[in-house]
Structure 1
Amino acid sequence: MVSAENRELTVLDPRTGEVASRVPIASAQRCDEAVRNARGAARAWARTPAAERAAALHAAAAAVREAADELAGLNERETGKLRDDARGGVDAGAGTLVQYAELGPVHRGRALHGGPDATDLMVPEPRGVVAVLTPWNDPVAVAAGLIGAALATGNTVVHKPSERCPRTGRRFAEILAAHLPAGVLEVVDGDGEVGARLAAAPVDVVAHVGSTATGRSIARAAAGTGAKVLLENGGNDALVVDEGVDPQWAAAQAALGSFANAGQICVSVERIYVHAALADPFLAALAGEAKEWGERIGPLVDQRHREHVHGHVADALSAGAHALAGGEVPDGPGAFYPPTVLAGVEPGTAVLREETFGPVAPVRVLPDFDIALREAADDAYGLSAVVLTADMTRAQRAWRELPVGTVKINNVFGGAPGGAAQPRRGSGQGYGYGPELLDEMTTTKVVHIGSPG
């Protein structure tokens, strides 16, 4: 919520509706100053030995771990994220900083095979100033990845945390900046106007995690400046449940994917396609899972987001779907919404075609695996998808045919360390994590050194 009089962000605790934080919105002058400061520090930071940059990140990671309770408490008050989940996000963020501290010094170029009297190299160099715009649903972990990779490769950063958790984001950035030279990490608070100003500022990279609409706006702005754009935007991730699997296990997987963090995870399950042979026991088990999850999820981030989520549910119900669990806005304070299971959902409804980002599991019952896979692939987004199947031939087909950056077989979450996917279509572009993010944060120079005379 933005106050028009004094231009400040007022964030309400989504559990109680009480004021959680008030933060002044950065002026246009402050945004420009932050970019200038980062630009002014860029040359010296780029020339700092990679091992020294890594040492600074190691120290910052240790400080983040020491402040874990403080950061988790801020996150809980501003976004409603459960304390254990918020603490886990802080721990993950500190681990990510350590990861890039280790990877930065070994990020390497190539030697080329030229003539015997010359040396030819391909050398990675920092791009310069990186504007980092991060979301509210996991503010420390996501910011740590983008900021850590940028700093490890010698870039300077201007960071704008989400307006829904400004104190959490600012405090995290302050902890990091205390271990860096002045200007290497600048932070600005604000709403969409501040983000738009940074996207159009004279920076070299704009890295954004958030909605598809905002990502596309950033891409248009960056087209005018020539900045490189890294986008991880919205998703509408499908879960395909094949015949031949245990319906109780499949329902537990679906519930975890749909209801964890109240459905507010980038790769949450947004739509479910179940084989008709499994439909009745699966739906019964999923409804039971929803009732159990109702006792252990937190609120949505705010009332505005709850209106969005319930709007999708109401649209589906009006089109003929029926709720097997949830589906109604609860009484009482805060922005709580119950885990909801919808059956009989029509293909054109918003809950299937758009990102809901809430604890909603819309289910389509289909006669065979081929149709389920086809409907799962028919989407404007391309972030991730999950397939539960005991048939490895179908599993192979699924990961090859689903047009998304990440496909998970028989697990809604998980994966080996170091994996890095590229989202597609409406879900964005570029590597947003993993070792490949270091490549995104650098540019390559070819060097030819000949002999004199």
Structure 2
Amino acid sequence: MTLDAPTTTAPSSDDSSADTITVLDPVTGEVASETRRSTADEVRDAVARARAAATGWARTAPGARGAMLRAAAERLRDHADELAAMNTRETGKVPGDALGGVEAGIDTLIQYAELGPLHRGEALRGNHGAADFAVPHPRGVVLALTPWNDPVAVACGILGAAIAAGNTVVHKGSERSPGTIALLNRLLAAELPDGVLVGVDGDAATGEQLLAEDGIAVYAHVGSTATGDRLAEAALRTRAHVIRENGGNDAAVVDADVDPVWAADQVALGAFANTGQICTSVERVYVHRGIAEEFTAALVRAAERKTAAAATDFGPLVDERLRTTVQEHVDQAVSAGAQVLTGGSVPAGAGTFYPATVLTGCTDDMLVLTEETFGPIAPVRIVEDMAEGLRLAAEDRYGLAATVLTGDTATALQAAAELPVGTVKINAVFGGAPGGSAEPRGASGSGFGYGPHLLDEMTTTTVVHLEAAPRRTSTPTDAAAGAVDPATAGSHDTDTATAEDVR
């Protein structure tokens, strides 16, 4: 198949009247992409096409679905550099990270191509001679709403699971990376039957129209808490199943018994990777007083190394709107008594760069500790012991993840038992086994994202109880002759006693 066929969005009958989404390169300020916004008719058509394809795709053998998904992954591999370059232009993601995100997306699609055919129900223990089992079924049409900060990797997780499980998908990505998502949708759809993956391009208004459409069975969303809340509200009317991974305010708690330089490097990785634009970035740092001075000095050095790598290993923030929010959080902290040890202000020059920033003297009411800043900010709060650090880490409305750096097994076990988050990471701010799953809490969302558990989220379960039917007690000839006695109809034994005999 060619790249142009099939397309993921039907062509507009009046392109001259269609709005365009223009994205500026956050490094140069020049136009990075121009993407035509889907019209209202195209949005309706996208849902209709996905609904029309749903029955046939659900009946397609899981192995065949997996083979097509693997072919789609290989098509992405052929265009990986192109996808990564578009991602870099639109979001400022440094080239190596952008290509890594595409490669991660490819690996995820292959993972689901393999897991889909293995997704199975359960056999249940029932009565002797009977069978009880649970069978998974596709839910139908999935609305996938995906973010800009790692657009290919995150989208492939949702799309791969939905498609492998037998659902069809309508996919709208963030308006901050529309060119990347449009290209991704075209590449994937080229290897799938028409209607299995249909892309729409647009902004919040487009999303609202999608929520008004009937026939969507699942809302799958990675992005802001406000949008996740809106989906949950819409689902009260539509009864759609909601899977949402939303904002986070992840804490890192540092014990006194670890090497302070190693701990600072871990926190720097968590706070500054992708310029702090990761859902599971370290947003709050609680460090034991016993190593606070050495730790903070090492964290400042790590931040300054990161800032010095601007444009090669440390990209800009995605746009001026986000940079303004980051600066407002820093300014509020400083006005309330925090000290800036490095960074903390908008640099001169083109683009939307922001330095890796370390704050000390932070208090529990500052925005940098209570809200998701989504920038390269490491606010440090000194604690007297790990009990205080774990308590403060737990006192938050978000519940995505947390990191605990400790050499004490009891502390690690306490963290795993008591922190109300989807993922507790001990002594490694990033990492985890392939295929891992997580279930966020509170303002961070609900439902399992990624891994085998996401296949469960993408399916419904039918429990079947099966017993053998009794054999008929007469031949068709007897029945035609009226030979069946109503008193004995349905009996297993022609010698069964009549009602009169029982009395």
TM-score of the superposed pair, with normalisation by structure 1:
0.97
Residue 265 (structure 2) pairs with residue 262 (structure 1): no
Q: Secondary structure at the match of 1:292?
A: helix
Amino acid of the structure 2 residue aligned with 1:190: G
> Which of residues 378, 394, 411 is equivalent to 2:395?
378
Using the TM superposition, give the Cα deviation of residue 405 of structure 1 relative to its aligned residue in structure 2, in angstroms. Answer: 0.5
2:187 aligned residue: 175
1:352 aligned residue: 369
Q: Deviations over 1:5-30 (max 9, x none)?
A: 85321100000111101112112221
Q: Secondary structure at the match of 2:398?
A: coil
Using the TM superposition, give the Cα deviation of residue 346 of structure 1 relative to its aligned residue in structure 2, in angstroms. Answer: 1.6
Using the TM superposition, give the Cα deviation of residue 450 of structure 1 relative to its aligned residue in structure 2, in angstroms. Answer: 3.3
Q: Is the 8 A contact 1:421 1:431 kept in 2?
A: yes
1:213 aligned residue: 226
2:259 aligned residue: 246
Please give the alpha-carbon distance, in whole angstroms, between the structure 2 residues aligned to 1:196 and 1:283: 45
> Which of residues 57, 63, 74 is equivalent to 2:75?
63
Amino acid of the structure 1 residue aligned with 2:208: A
1:399 aligned residue: 416
Please give the alpha-carbon distance, in whole angstroms, between the structure 2 residues aligned to 1:280 and 1:102: 49
Q: Structure 1 pair 276/117, CA: closer, same or farther in 2 (3 Å)?
A: closer
Please give the alpha-carbon distance, in whole angstroms, between the structure 2 residues aligned to 1:395 and 1:435: 26
Identity %: 59
Q: Is the 8 A contact 1:122 1:446 kept in 2?
A: yes
Please give the alpha-carbon distance, in whole angstroms, between the structure 1 residues aligned to 2:189 and 2:362: 49
Please give the alpha-carbon distance, in whole angstroms, between the structure 1 residues aligned to 2:80 and 2:87: 10
Amino acid of the structure 2 residue aligned with 1:448: H
Q: Deviations over 1:338-359 (max 9, x none)?
A: 0000000121011110000100
Extract structure 1 runs of 4+ deviating beyond 4 A.
none
Please give the alpha-carbon distance, in whole angstroms, between the structure 2 residues aligned to 1:337 and 1:62: 36
Please give the alpha-carbon distance, in whole angstroms, between the structure 2 residues aligned to 1:25 and 1:90: 24
Please give the alpha-carbon distance, in whole angstroms, between the structure 1 residues aligned to 2:126 and 2:391: 50
Q: Secondary structure at the match of 1:121?
A: strand
Please give the alpha-carbon distance, in whole angstroms, between the structure 2 residues aligned to 1:373 and 1:113: 43
2:240 aligned residue: 227
Please give the alpha-carbon distance, in whole angstroms, between the structure 2 residues aligned to 1:366 and 1:242: 10
1:254-403 superposed matches below 5 A: 254-296=267-309, 297-403=314-420
1:10 aligned residue: 22
Amino acid of the structure 1 residue aligned with 2:468: S
Using the TM superposition, give the Cα deviation of residue 300 of structure 1 relative to its aligned residue in structure 2, in angstroms. Answer: 0.4
Q: Secondary structure at the match of 2:282?
A: coil
> Which of residues 130, 134, 143 is equivalent to 1:122?
134
Please give the alpha-carbon distance, in whole angstroms, between the structure 2 residues aligned to 1:295 and 1:38: 48
Q: Secondary structure at the match of 2:451?
A: coil
> Which of residues 105, 109, 120 is equivalent to 2:117?
105
Q: Is the 8 A contact 2:271 2:283 kept in 1?
A: yes
Please give the alpha-carbon distance, in whole angstroms, between the structure 2 residues aligned to 1:174 and 1:209: 21
Q: Is the 8 A contact 1:131 1:158 kept in 2?
A: yes
Using the TM superposition, give the Cα deviation of residue 451 of structure 1 relative to its aligned residue in structure 2, in angstroms. Answer: 2.8
Q: Secondary structure at the match of 1:91?
A: helix
> Which of residues 68, 90, 103 is equivalent to 1:91?
103
Amino acid of the structure 2 residue aligned with 1:35: V
Q: Is the 8 A contact 1:196 1:218 kept in 2?
A: no
Please give the alpha-carbon distance, in whole angstroms, between the structure 2 residues aligned to 1:398 and 1:115: 43
Amino acid of the structure 1 residue aligned with 2:267: A
Q: Secondary structure at the match of 1:270?
A: strand
Please give the alpha-carbon distance, in whole angstroms, between the structure 1 residues aligned to 2:450 and 2:168: 18
Amino acid of the structure 2 residue aligned with 1:14: P
Please give the alpha-carbon distance, in whole angstroms, between the structure 2 residues aligned to 1:200 and 1:401: 40
Amino acid of the structure 2 residue aligned with 1:298: G
2:40 aligned residue: 28
Please give the alpha-carbon distance, in whole angstroms, between the structure 2 residues aligned to 1:27 and 1:369: 55
Moved more, 103-112 or 128-137: 103-112
Please give the alpha-carbon distance, in whole angstroms, between the structure 2 residues aligned to 1:116 and 1:282: 65
1:36-75 superposed matches below 5 A: 36-75=48-87
Amino acid of the structure 1 residue aligned with 2:150: D
Q: Is the 8 A contact 1:79 1:301 kept in 2?
A: yes
Q: Secondary structure at the match of 2:435?
A: coil
User: Any gaps of 5 or more consecutive residues in structure 2?
Assistant: 1-16, 471-503
Using the TM superposition, give the Cα deviation of residue 47 of structure 1 relative to its aligned residue in structure 2, in angstroms. Answer: 0.5
Q: Is the 8 A contact 1:89 1:140 kept in 2?
A: yes
Q: Secondary structure at the match of 2:32?
A: strand
Using the TM superposition, give the Cα deviation of residue 401 of structure 1 relative to its aligned residue in structure 2, in angstroms. Answer: 1.1
The RMSD of aligned alpha carbons is 1.1
Q: Is the 8 A contact 1:200 1:224 kept in 2?
A: no
1:161-200 superposed matches below 5 A: 161-200=173-212
Amino acid of the structure 2 residue aligned with 1:395: A
User: Any gaps of 5 or more consecutive residues in structure 1?
Assistant: none
Aligned residues: 449
Please give the alpha-carbon distance, in whole angstroms, between the structure 2 residues aligned to 1:242 and 1:197: 49
Using the TM superposition, give the Cα deviation of residue 113 of structure 1 relative to its aligned residue in structure 2, in angstroms. Answer: 3.2
Q: Deviations over 1:166-223 (max 9, x none)?
A: 0101111111100001111000001011112223422000000000011001110111
Amino acid of the structure 2 residue aligned with 1:369: M
Please give the alpha-carbon distance, in whole angstroms, between the structure 1 residues aligned to 2:181 and 2:385: 46
Please give the alpha-carbon distance, in whole angstroms, between the structure 2 residues aligned to 1:369 and 1:113: 46
Q: Is the 8 A contact 2:170 2:198 kept in 1?
A: yes
Q: Is the 8 A contact 2:402 2:423 kept in 1?
A: yes
Q: Structure 1 pair 342/123, CA: closer, same or farther in 2 (3 Å)?
A: same
Q: Is the 8 A contact 1:200 1:222 kept in 2?
A: no
Q: Secondary structure at the match of 2:28?
A: coil
